A = this chain, B = another copy of it.
Amino acid sequence: MDSAEEPRSKGSKRPESVSGSDFLQLDIGQAPPGGRTEWLTARIRAAIADGTLPVGSRLPAGRVLAAELGVSRGLVTEAYRRLTDAGQVAGRGRAGTIVVAAPLAPAGPGGPVTPAAPRLPGAAVPSRRAGRVRPGGQEGPEGLPGPAGSSPAGPGGPFGPGVAGPVVDVLRGVPCRIDLSPGVPDLTAFPRTAWLQAERRVLAGLTAADFGYGNPQGAPALRSAVTGWLARNRGIRADPDEVVVVAGVAQALGLLAHVLREDGVRRVAVEDPGSLGARQQLEYGRLETVPVPVDGSGLDTAALRAGGAGAVLLTPAHQFPTGVVLDGERRRELLGWAAAGGLVIEDDYDAEHRYDRAPVPALRALLPDGVCYAGSVSKLLAPALRLGWLLVPSRLRDAVVAAKRYADLGNPVLAQLVLARLMDSGELERHLRFVRRRHRRRRDAMLRAIAAHLPGARVHGAAAGLHLMVTFDGAAFEDTALAAAALALGVKTHPLSWHRIRPGAPGLVLGYAAGPPGELEEGAALLGQALDGLR
């Protein structure tokens, strides 16, 4: 079972002590020469994953473990640092180094729901956001009109018929007071100062040639930094030559669609429910999408096999929108399918954001030759940066680089080098740790608010990520009607049916990371009002 409790809450209890390497059954003789830090890190990680070191337990003091293993203290310190960076352990001052991430547990439907908070008055709530004027002459709170200059919402609003352009874009253009759209991190936390300082240094160090046409595959410095990031945070070992810098996961999917189609692929399996945006991206790339059901264990691999698609796009670490983690057996089946010639496209969209469980290894780490891996800084730093990475099996790399080259000759260079600096200096990991704490508090606030204001809502997938999903099992209303009623009250959400291909229970996908707890509470209260109106 996952625990939504902050490790802080156990701070009052003295963490259970672990005496040393005996407990971990470590034998340094097993470590490969030159790889002892990696080995020690991996062994401790495994001990956390299998419950040998439960959440709240204390790691041996560095000097004790070093002495017992007969290694330098610096080596142990480095291993602890990596685990700290990965969010699995945390220094607690004199209490030592504590395990803070629970072992992997399936985030089953129902998720943790905590005791009720008092219900807010149902009357109109004064608008805190609508009247805010922003510099720069931008238009709405999102600065985004409907695509193609159409009226931001078709007749009936973005949830009704007649919407022009992708519905997600249209919704984005509608002003609102409280935005619970999924997929956006806490943007108030964007590290403006660190970004600017890094950019100053980058600008000072550039040669004239660096301002010229760059490498379409991406700046070597960033490709190198990304491999470090992926090794530390996602367990992926890659060479910088394997990394293609892209303008986010959306572009990664567009490039892959082009390359796969040229390669003879016509049908790509997608998760159902699954991201509407990703599906539209593939379809714009002239690929047919084949829905494959998702259950409590993740993608239904038997259905995938039966569907006969040549490739599958999925979100194994934190399925969108259900939050389910692809379990071990499905994982093995999927990798078997890939080893037999299927191509896996792994959208690792928010893998760094997790609260109550250990990181789920990326599929790419297990089968580099069968997995295309896409990630970005959209949920780490900001979507506005349009910067991400794509790793593909070596047989596809030339074609993907060519597609990127013809797409735009490569990402802008300055931002690539700034990001490389932030990654190499540890600044990005610091930022991640910072926002993770905030996101976790917001997640907890959202769970409390849902329990208080949305009776009958079942919560899914709240152990990680920046959003959760609620379903209203057995309810008779359309979730688009609920979303429209909520929007009329000033609250923006995604109806679950947007992300479904086959019909199912009505629900909502609720982002909780972007706004402060008070706003989440208010938003849930207004959702409750909208729900009352429908019932």
Contact residues of A with B, CB < 8 Å? 85-87, 107-109, 132, 134-139, 141-145, 147-150, 164-166, 169, 172, 184, 186-188, 190, 192, 195-197, 199-201, 203-217, 219-221, 224, 241, 247-248, 250-251, 254, 280-281, 284-285, 382-387, 397-399, 401-402, 405-415, 417, 420, 514
Contacts and interface: CB of A to CB of B under 8 A. Distances in A.
30 contacts: A107-B207, A109-B212, A134-B207, A141-B209, A142-B212, A142-B214, A145-B217, A147-B401, A148-B398, A148-B402, A149-B217, A149-B241, A165-B398, A165-B405, A172-B213, A186-B208, A187-B208, A187-B209, A187-B211, A208-B514, A213-B383, A247-B409, A250-B406, A254-B407, A284-B402, A384-B412, A384-B413, A386-B409, A387-B412, A407-B407
A386 B411 contact: yes
B201 A85 contact: yes
A407 B251 CA distance: 6
Contact of A208 (B109, B206, B401, B408): B109
Contact of A213 (B139, B164, B384): B384
A410 B238 CA distance: 29
Nearest to A208: B187
Nearest to A132: B207
Contacts of A251: 407-409
Contacts of A143: 209-210, 214-215, 219-220
Contacts of A164: 398
Contacts of A200: 85-86, 196
Nearest to A401: B148
A147 B412 contact: no
A211 B383 contact: yes
A141 B214 CA distance: 10
B169 A87 contact: no
A210 B384 contact: yes
Contact of A107 (B135, B208, B401): B208
Contacts of A387: 412
Contacts of A209: 109, 134, 141-143, 187
A238 B395 CA distance: 46
A220 B135 CA distance: 11
Given A220-B138, A384-B210, A408 B250 contact: yes
A217 B147 contact: yes
Contacts of A148: 397-399, 401-402
B414 A385 contact: yes
Nearest to A88: B204
A68 B172 CA distance: 55
Contacts of A385: 412-414
Contacts of A398: 147-150, 164-165
Contacts of A207: 107, 109, 132, 134
Closest A-B pairs by Cβ, 6 of them: A87-B204, A148-B398, A211-B382, A384-B413, A247-B408, A136-B221
B187 A196 contact: no
Contact of A190 (B208, B250, B397, B406): B208
A428 to B, nearest CB: 15
A150 B398 CA distance: 9
Contact of A384 (B107, B172, B211): B211
B136 A384 contact: no
Nearest to A179: B209
A188 B203 contact: no
B384 A414 contact: yes
B220 A136 contact: yes
B407 A408 contact: yes
Nearest to A164: B398
Contact of A415 (B208, B383, B414, B417): B414
A223 to B, nearest CB: 9
Contacts of A205: 87, 135-136
A132 B210 CA distance: 13
Nearest to A134: B207
A217 B173 CA distance: 13
Given A201-B85, A207-B134, A144 B213 contact: yes
A141 B209 CA distance: 7
A109 B208 CA distance: 6
A86 B203 CA distance: 8
Nearest to A165: B402
Contacts of A383: 211-214, 409
A169 B405 contact: yes
Contacts of A135: 205
A424 to B, nearest CB: 9
A527 to B, nearest CB: 21
- Interface-central residue, A87, A107, A143, A414, by most chain B CB under 10 Å: A143
B408 A248 contact: yes
Contacts of A382: 211-212
B139 A220 contact: yes
